Structure 1
Amino acid sequence: MTERETTRLIAWSHEMRRVHARLREALRVTREAVDRGESAETPARELLLFCHGFCSALDAHHTGEDRTLFPAIEAARPDLAPVLRNLQQDHSMISHLLGGLQAATDARSSPGVLAGHLEGIAAIMESHFRYEERQLLAVLEGLALDADPGKALGSL
């Protein structure tokens, strides 16, 4: 394997870490916007933008994994099928929770209600990211995936 090929493979694991870090940061910023909203310093429009943006980014990340990354991993490593199914179940649960946040945002629910939605998402999201990183980062460093990282991990 050439140095360039090795660098490309390791880049996949770094890219996943980078995307997870950005999503964690997006959640943090969204939570701060909700907290500021409780003191009426944040206009409702700003709060809506943060919530919509976070929901869209997290959904795009999971959609990319489900459609592009996970099938490529499973083709190369069929033994990981149970891990990938667990991760996809998490994606489904998180999608449901994001739907609840989206509905609460659209209904212009109170910051307290929005904060409750974000807490639930944060707990599942963090658990999911840690599991995914434990199970897949080393695997990504050894796989020759022929896919666009933006499509496979969601563009952030």
Structure 2
Amino acid sequence: MSSTDPNRLIAWDRELRAVHHRLRDSLQIARDAVDDAGPLSADLRLFCTGFCAALDGHHRREDDTMFPELLAAHPELRDVLSQLTRDHHMLSHLLGELQRAVDAGHDAATLHQHLDGIEAVMETHFRYEEKRLLAPLADLVVEHEPRAMLGPLA
């Protein structure tokens, strides 16, 4: 239930899909910023940093809040959640590499290589997560706000 509206039951499976959609949009905005701006532009730094923060924030909220709730309700998901957590660590590393490349003023081709790698891992991760977690999430009832469970884009 949402504390802002105690009569609203959160459909966590739909919330997760919506956050994934917004993260895909954020990645495209970061790509557009690479294409439209010089490597040291403020817009490029803003959009790449914003995307990195949004994706990392989403994964931190999942690790800290959503995954423990799912594990408590569905202990059989332990291996799935462990794999997803490993993915989060890999993506965090890739995001750090992107941020370092942006800060160093690398060219558009190099930044796109970083974004391509992030996108490949992110898409595989999202598909696996949705395949394995949407059904358990559809039945999950917890006392958390969407942002607490899914991060800044929830």
Fold shared per TM-score above 0.5:
yes
Higher share in helix: 1
Distance in 2, Cα, partners of 1:43 & 1:121? 21
Contact 2:40 2:105 in 1 (8 A): no
- Alpha-carbon RMSD across the aligned residues, in angstroms, is 1.6
Contact 2:40 2:102 in 1 (8 A): no
Q: How far off its partner does 1:142 sit? A: 1.1
**What residue number does 2:43 align with?**
46
Please tell me whether residue 111 in structure 1 is matched to residue 108 in structure 2: yes
Aligned positions, number? 147
Please tell me whether residue 82 in structure 1 is matched to residue 79 in structure 2: yes
Distance in 2, Cα, partners of 1:8 & 1:80? 23
Alignment-mate amino acid for residue 62 of structure 2: E
Distance in 1, Cα, partners of 2:77 & 2:56? 22
Alignment-mate amino acid for residue 46 of structure 1: D
Contact 2:87 2:125 in 1 (8 A): yes
| Equivalent residue runs for 1:1-150 within 5 Å | 8-9=9-10, 11-37=11-37, 40=38, 44-150=41-147
Q: How far off its partner does 1:118 sit? A: 0.3
Q: How far off its partner does 1:56 sit? A: 0.3
Q: How far off its partner does 1:43 sit? A: 6.7
Unaligned runs of 5+ in 2: 1-5
Q: How far off its partner does 1:146 sit? A: 2.2
Runs of 4+ in 1 over 2 A off after TM superposition: none
Distance in 2, Cα, partners of 1:148 & 1:68? 10
Secondary structure, aligned partner of 1:8: coil
Alignment-mate amino acid for residue 15 of structure 1: E
